[in-house]
Amino acid sequence: MYIGNAILLLLNLPFVGVFIQILRVKRVVLMSFAVLVTMIGVYSLGNDEFNMWAVLAFGALGYVMRKTGFEPSPLVLAFVLGQVLERSFRQSMIMSNGDASVFVQRPFSGSMLAIVAAALIFYIIRVRLKKAN
């Protein structure tokens, strides 16, 4: 990591002026360029037009979620980790012959579930108190 950081420092120092110039570009132009580069990257992964439409659809969904007050990052996290979580849950249920108590028998998993439950309860209480005020 030290070598990588040193090389990054050597490569980035000469380009400080270029980075400052990028900051002066209008936001609309910069965002359009970012969308263009993203679309080129998505198309180059599988040479499939469907992937480009999927990116645009999820971008529109994220925009709508932001405008309506929902945070889109949990949705992204669910898409990234959902398949792994599902596979691990299925493996656990197979190993325990369908007995869900396997998730609370060990101290670590039981305490993690208790922390999640407590956080959920505190969140519900906080929302209800805000509505009451």
Rg (CA), the chain: 23
Give the tens place of pLDDT for each residue, 35-90: 999 999 999 988 889 999 999 998 899 889 989 988 888 888 888 899 999 999 99
Confidence of residue 3 (pLDDT cuts 50, 70, 90): very high
The residues, any chain, with a CB within 8 Å of residue 88's CB and separated by 6 or more, are none
Report helix angle 49-67 to 73-95, nearest 10.
110
Cβ distance 46 to 52 under 8 Å?
A: no
Spatial separation of the C-alpha atoms in residues 109 and 102, rounded to whole Å? 9
* pTM, to two decimals: 0.53
The residues, any chain, with a CB within 8 Å of residue 65's CB and separated by 6 or more, are 71, 72, 75
- Residue 44: C-alpha distances to residues 55, 59, 103, 108 (Å): 13, 18, 42, 43
Confidence (pLDDT) at 62: 87
How many other C-beta atoms can be found within 10 angstroms of the C-beta atom of residue 117? 10
